[in-house]
């Protein structure tokens, strides 16, 4: 819980009381590698804090599975739209054994303004991550997309498949292999 408390303490609006209220909403959770979590409608009132593991957010677009985000730690909001031009994420896949906490927002006492503001900061952080993902797919050159990806995700290169990385970068896996050989 220490990493979660440190994260909560880093928010501008955190107070000892709001952190304590937030802690009361948290339950430890573990997911096995390749476990899938559907995001709608059962998990719309939950968010997750990932301590360790690898999480892939996935949406379906015209029957094609696309990777919306990849993360190894931090908050994950199950029902998250990273672009105005695509469908919402349909599910989350855990690419490694993953540990963290589930936060049940249905039980949240939002009468505490700092707690509400912390939740807003969490959502803003996730939206900002979505904009970063959108920046990547707007880069026209696939090689440049891969180099940009390496800035924040180099630690994932040997931990997840080329297929998933290619999906994140919106390129064909074979083309990604060629790009990796050049870099």
Report the alpha-carbon distance of residue 143 to residue 9 in Å, rounded: 38
163 and 115 inside one domain: no
123 and 87 inside one domain: yes
| The pLDDT value given to residue 77 | 80
| The pLDDT value given to residue 43 | 58
pLDDT digits (tens, 9 = 90+) for 35-75: 998 776 555 678 899 999 999 988 877 777 888 889 999 99
145 and 58 inside one domain: no
| The pLDDT value given to residue 80 | 46
DSSP category for residue 33: T
102 and 68 inside one domain: yes
88 and 168 inside one domain: no
Is 5:19 a contact under the CB 8 Å cutoff? yes
pLDDT digits (tens, 9 = 90+) for 3-36: 899 999 999 988 898 888 888 889 999 999 999 9
42 and 91 inside one domain: yes
Q: What is the pTM of this model?
A: 0.85
129 and 163 inside one domain: no
| The pLDDT value given to residue 106 | 76
170 and 87 inside one domain: no
Mean pLDDT (whole number) for 107-125 = 81
Residue 116: give the domain boundaries: 2-138
Question: How many residues belong to the chain?
Answer: 183
Domain of residue 126, CATH code: 2.60.120.10
Structure tokens at 32: 């096995």
């Amino acid at each position: 819980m220490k990493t979660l408390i440190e994260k909560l303490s880093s928010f501008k609006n955190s107070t000892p009381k709001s952190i304590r209220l937030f802690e009361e909403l948290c339950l430890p959770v573990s997911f096995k590698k390749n476990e899938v979590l559907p995001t709608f409608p059962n998990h719309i009132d939950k968010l997750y804090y990932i301590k360790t593991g690898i999480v892939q957010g996935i949406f379906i677009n015209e029957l094609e599975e696309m990777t919306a985000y990849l993360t190894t730690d931090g908050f994950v909001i199950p029902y998250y739209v990273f672009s105005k031009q695509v469908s919402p994420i349909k599910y989350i896949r855990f690419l490694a054994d993953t540990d963290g906490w589930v936060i049940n927002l249905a039980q949240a006492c939002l009468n505490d303004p700092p707690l509400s503001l912390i939740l807003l900061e969490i959502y803003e952080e996730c939206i900002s991550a979505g904009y970063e993902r959108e920046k990547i797919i707007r880069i026209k050159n696939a090689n440049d997309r891969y180099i940009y990806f390496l800035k924040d995700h180099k630690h994932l290169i040997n931990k997840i498949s080329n297929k998933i990385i290619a999906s994140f970068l919106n390129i064909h896996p074979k083309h990604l292999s060629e790009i990796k050989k050049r870099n």
